[in-house]
Chain A
């Protein structure tokens, strides 16, 4: 069990970050991570030995999130992030940085789930393009073109938003 913990625990901060970026609700995001870890513990001995646990964990979490979205849309609940509360992230004392955070999160909200996941998993969680292809079950060339499109949408959302500040971040 210590071996499992040693393999899984280093990824928990990243899983919490990805889940929070998708859900914007502290408790709901941690519920999702807990669900993901429970699945991972149950399936630990069946995972592919050659795969890396990081990509495997993020794939489990995303699949759980996607099926949750489907369940919600079947029930007719709005599955988008209209009521997303990003207050938790707006803790920086520097007002300019708070604006950047607000604009980035607002821009993220304009993307589809798949675009969000690509941007977050590649750009924030540093998954390789090959792992991303496995996670989304699409060829690597498709990952690249969808990543370009997600970046374009994200960039435009920031530009049409009120975030000229972002250009000054280097």
Chain B
């Protein structure tokens, strides 16, 4: 039988880290019990290690912020090297806007528009698709902290926001999150009805002064979007056009009224 190798620094570190094989662990444990000063030192190291782990655990338990989600970072990466394409797209968009204005039938004359021509709609639908399927972390800040949520997002978007009240349409606010957008930051507010269907309101700064309501149909959801005073709105849900239009109109009316919506204060 081969004698056990002598106990060294490696064993003591691996003992502290709990990485020894069971027999070796037991052997080192007996050795430390017989050498009380060394045993005390190792016990203090274990306590310090546990203390450090516990001190930092809160950070690992936090939900991952939207800006660190791989899907969002990948979107930014794909976008970054093609700025000239965006410029080209913007020129096309201006041209389309001129043509669209010519044919527009008033504010609610919604025309179907391809996603590539409307960045805000594409971003809103992408964010809608990504987060409405989340069961654990659908939102970053929950509706229970609505005052904080609205204040935070208003600050980050540099625009005073309100969470529209959609209870008349059967949707209740779940909460919201901050997202990266081509224009800097965007906010997503998520709503849910009693049947579990989800709707998102997407908000961000948008270069133009104001545009008509436009409608876009994505793969799994549709969106109404518009710009008002340089600020863009998109309402996305898996609803048909008339239903979604009713909600979009409600959001539009609420965004224009300077009086805050009447709602009980958050609890």
Contact = CB atoms under 8 A, between A and B. Distances in A.
Interface in A105-161: 105, 107-108, 119-120, 122-124, 129, 144-145, 147-148, 151, 154-155, 158-159
Contacts of A124: 52-53, 56
Contacts of B13: 129, 144, 147-148, 151
B74 interface: yes
B62 A167 contact: no
Interface in A2-21: 4-5, 8-9, 12-14, 16-17, 20-21
Interface residues of A, number: 49
A119 B70 CA distance: 28
Nearest to B16: A151
B113 interface: no
A89 B71 contact: no
> Mostly helix, strand, loop or mixed at chain B's interface?
helix
B44 A155 contact: yes
Contacts of B56: 17, 20-21, 89, 120, 124
B172 interface: no
A33 B68 CA distance: 7
Contacts, number: 123
Given A122-B17, A151-B16, A169-B51, A41 B77 contact: yes
A148 B12 contact: yes
B48 interface: yes
Contacts of A14: 60
Contacts of B77: 38, 41-42
B59 A16 contact: yes
Nearest to B40: A167
Contact of A38 (B45, B62, B64, B73): B73
A100 B56 CA distance: 11
Interface of B: 9-10, 12-14, 16-17, 41, 44-45, 47-62, 64-65, 67-71, 73-74, 77
